[in-house]
Amino acid sequence: MAHDKDKYAYRVLWSEEDQEYIGLCSELPSLSWLAKTQEKALKGIKTLVAECVSDLAESGEEVPQAISVRNYSGKFMVRVPPEIHRQLALQAAEAGVSLNRVASAKLAH
């Protein structure tokens, strides 16, 4: 199965601790690349990810699928304390909407 590493979720952040930019990949969170510029950090993490994905594929290990191409059902369970559940249910009742609608609106912010 071919994996399009360019579809992975890359980001570059400033690392105050390292005094350099750090390149990261959400699908492979154990990998990082430090560089003096944002551009070099991005290039470095993309190269490292390509090498890692190649090694995983060659050894028959599972290669992570890009988050951007995964299918999501739109459903997930969130556990909250009973008091929060009560407050959300009250807000939903007062607004005349479903609890799902209240929770979804809060998560969107």
Domain-by-domain residue ranges, the chain? 5-68, 72-107
Q: Candidates 3.30.70, 3.30.160, 2.60.40, 3.10.120; correct CATH number of 5-68?
A: 3.30.160
pLDDT at 32: 98
Average pLDDT (39-51) is 97
pLDDT at 6: 85
The pTM of this model reads 0.71
Q: For position 3, what pLDDT does the model report?
A: 62
3-state secondary structure of 11: strand
pLDDT value of residue 5: 79
Cβ neighbors of 50 (< 8 A, separation 6 or more) are: 5
Residue 1 has a pLDDT of 45
- Supply the DSSP symbol for 97: S
Q: Which residues pair with 24 in a beta bridge?
A: 11, 32
Looking at residue 30, its pLDDT comes to: 96
